[in-house]
Amino acid sequence: MSQIGIKFEIIPSNFKEDEVALPAAKMAEYFAYMKAKDVAESAKEAALVIGSDTIVYCDEIMGKPKNRKEAFCMLTKLSGKHHLVISGISIINTATGESLTEHESTKVKMKELSSEEIIAYINTGEPEDKAGAYAIQGLGSLFVEEIRGDYFNVVGLPIFRLRNMLEHFGVKLI
């Protein structure tokens, strides 16, 4: 957000992301809204609170791996396939209570990965806190063969969609 000139403060949400029975896009939106709501409820002054959540979908919802074994399984499932990266964004105006929640989807194709490549990548530690167990902005970029859609969405925050949503609240960035 700093690259587009937004002054912001990071306030971690205490919302616990327990999987709910929703389609992938609705789940990302729900988690984004609940994170924003949690922070907005404790806001001491008027602000726009932005919550976001990113998931990877390839025949099933993939969040962040809990351990190395789960990371290996995720990367094996993504190997050689197209998948969706879905980010939910929610903005809440603490002064009015107005909220807006949307999502962005990007289609990504990962190259065919060998077990050795997956293990070597896991050994870097990069997959540990990443939905789908990879980071396109890091070493994971070496595995991305094709992308259709918003690159920043795959990083974790779809800037163009965020810009449009902020305009709804009267915020002009340029």
In tens, the pLDDT along 58-98 reads: 999 998 899 999 999 999 999 999 999 999 999 999 999 99
pLDDT band per the 50, 70, 90 thresholds, residue 1: confident
Q: Is 53 a catalytic residue?
A: yes
Q: How far apart are CA 32 and CA 4, in angstroms?
A: 21
Helices 68-78 and 115-123 cross at an angle (nearest 10°) of 140
Between CA 99 and CA 76 the distance in angstroms is: 38
pLDDT at 27: 94
Q: Domains along the chain?
A: 21-168 (3.90.950.10)
Q: What is the pLDDT of residues 120-170, one digit of tens each?
A: 999 999 999 899 999 999 999 999 999 999 999 999 899 999 999 999 999
DSSP state of 131: G
Give phi and psi for 80, each to the nearest 5. 75, 10
Q: How far apart are CA 162 and CA 141, in angstroms?
A: 23
Q: What is the pLDDT of residue 58?
A: 95
pLDDT at 168: 94
Say yes or no to pLDDT of 4 above 80.
no
Say if CB 36 and CB 99 are below 8 A apart.
Answer: yes
Query: Is the sign of the CA dihedral 24, 63, 15, 158 positive or negative?
Result: negative
Quick check: 2 pLDDT over 80? no
Q: Single out the catalytic residue among 18, 38, 53, 150.
A: 53
> Among 51, 54, 46, which residue's Cα sits nearest to residue 28?
54
Residue 107: its pLDDT value, please?
98
Amino acid letter, 123: N
